[in-house]
Amino acid sequence: MAAEPHSFFVAGDQELAEASAVPMANAARILENMPDGVALLDAENRILWANTRLTEWCGKTQLGGLTFFEALGSPEILGPDFSLFYRAVASSNPLGSQAMSSTLRTSDNRYFHIHASSAFNPLPSSQISAEAGQVVVAVRNVTLTILEQQKRAAIHQAGQTLADLSPAELADMTIEERIELLKSNILHYSKDLLQFDVVEIRLLDQQTGRLEPLLAEGMQPEAEARTLYARPENNGVTGYVAATGTSYFCNDTTKDLLYLEGCKGAKSSLTVPLILHEQVIGTFNVESPEPGGFADIDLQFLEIFACDVAAALNTLELLVAEKASAAAESIEAIHGAVALPVDDILNDAVSVMQRYIGHDADVVERLQRILRNARDIKQVIQKVGEKMTPSSAHAQLRQGERRHSLVGRRILVVDSDEQVRAAAHSLLERFGCTVETARDGAEAASMVRACEHEAYDVIIADIRLPDMSGYELLLALQDLLDRVPLVLMTGFGYDPGHSIVKARHAGVDLVLFKPFRIDQLLETVERAVAGPKPVEN
């Protein structure tokens, strides 16, 4: 049982003591029922009196005679004041005293915030006695608050390291290994730091609205494979969170209309959005076998971690895109270096083959093999590029660029300007076309003649070639093809031989005016692939 409250006033002043008896008794009751601990210390920091709360925290039945620090098991002083009792006494003066504060950590990892001030009352100097050296200490248990702060900091620190690797480590890891490392780290921190055993993360496909599974731990296979969309209805809690961008408590899965079973026997769940730059990019879901298994603090912790997960996923996406871009640029550089030389081989082989047809079948067969091998060279380069570039990143990198009507189309570009021929390769092959080039009309006709089984889908030719005009090329090609898919190129207003006018009379209505934009080139090629519009009756 706690000792009687100690008088703060000078012994012998009977009249003043009797006048103060009732207020002091009320004060004692108030101090006993406070949620915080309170103690009165003498000049040597020994406890003269303590309320029940402090006695319970110290785990002792009696605190009298112990120093304050002995009572708490010699805790570590964390500051900011490290000599607060001495300073509290030293600050006493007739005008009042200044409160000093500090934080203590006990050996069992409890934290207490203490305020200390002098117990000295501003009485006349004749009434001042030994009480002037006494200190009143208020003690508050802040263990939960500090542990939560530490956990927040630990969660944030863990999140910062999710996708953090040194340049040396990064150089040695494939994209797939980097993804697996990120997933492993997320699961590790979710279990060991956040104490979540059932975890599911899905990423939002911004184009389709579909929530694609990234990782799942403890989920049923059918739940993991379930198709979900970012919609507030008929897509479970996950779809609702992705659609609204707000977190969701499911305290009782048996009564929640949104909940779709994920973990076998789960009784509650907590789902938060993954948000990056104010945009939802996915969801983070955890589940518990207990009803109401999550509290507000769990929500705070999960939202903190989810922010760092979103940032880590974004870093990963940037890395994937960067590697994809670097690989694509490398392939384009290699292809750009060999494209025109390969075209020269094709042109020379075709020219020689034309002279030997009907004379030496063996030579013709060898030349045809050269043609096939030369064309295979470019295909091999393209396939190597596809392998070097991560498939998911390749799709994202080319997303919006792919025009399905152009993929796989064979295009012949005829122009004496080497830069135009090189640009045709780099621009059109980016969209899935197979491009070959010729320097003049004769080479173009030979290339067309040599394509017995795989005709060109589009032929793009300058109106002014070294050996003939664009219209003359059209006439030459009409002797070889039933339909000539010809597109003529010219500078603005330049057509001295009226090739365009004559070609249009012959049925060619597609013209590119140099310099043209890439979208104009693509649209023109698409129209040529589609063929002429049917004539209306």
Residues of the chain with CATH 3.40.50.2300: 400-537
CATH number of the domain at 400-537, out of 3.40.50.2300, 3.40.50.800, 3.10.20.30, 3.60.15.10?
3.40.50.2300
The answer to pTM > 0.85 is: no
The CA distance from 441 to 439, in Å, is 7
- Which pair of tokens denotes residue 4? 């009687």
Q: Are 364 and 356 in contact (CB under 8 A)?
A: yes
Structure tokens at 446: 């030979």
Strand partners, 77: 104
Residues of the chain with pLDDT under 70: 1-28, 84, 86-99, 119-132, 158-175, 315-337, 357-359, 378-402, 452-453, 492-497, 532-537
Question: Are the CB atoms for 240 and 283 separated by under 8 Å?
Answer: no
Q: In which residue ranges of the chain is CATH 3.30.450.20 found?
A: 14-141
pLDDT for the residue 230: 96
pLDDT at 384: 58
Residue 238 is encoded by which pair of tokens? 């996950």
Q: Determine if the peptide bond prior to 466 is cis (ω within 30°).
A: no
Alpha-carbon distance values, 28 to 21, 31, 42, 132 (Å): 11, 5, 18, 20
Helix-helix angle 296-356:391-398, to 10 degrees: 80
pLDDT of 488-505, one tens digit each? 888 765 666 677 788 788
Alpha-carbon dihedral angle through residues 459, 460, 464, 466, given to the nearest 10 degrees: -60
Q: Where in the chain is the domain with CATH 3.30.450.40?
A: 150-320
Burial class of 23 by CB neighbour count within 10 A (0 to 12, 13 to 18, 19+): exposed
CA distance 35 to 42: 23
Q: Two tokens at 393?
A: 């990143």
CATH T-level assignment (fold) for domain 14-141: Beta-Lactamase (3.30.450)
Q: What is the pLDDT of residue 396?
A: 41
Let me know how long the chain is: 537
Sequence-distant (6+) residues with CB within 8 A of 512 are 460, 487, 488, 489, 490, 520, 521, 524
DSSP letter string over 77-93?
EEEE-SSHHHHHHHT-B
**What topology does CATH give the domain 150-320?**
Beta-Lactamase (3.30.450)
Q: How far apart are CA 428 and CA 533, in angstroms?
A: 24
Q: What is the pLDDT of residue 196?
A: 86
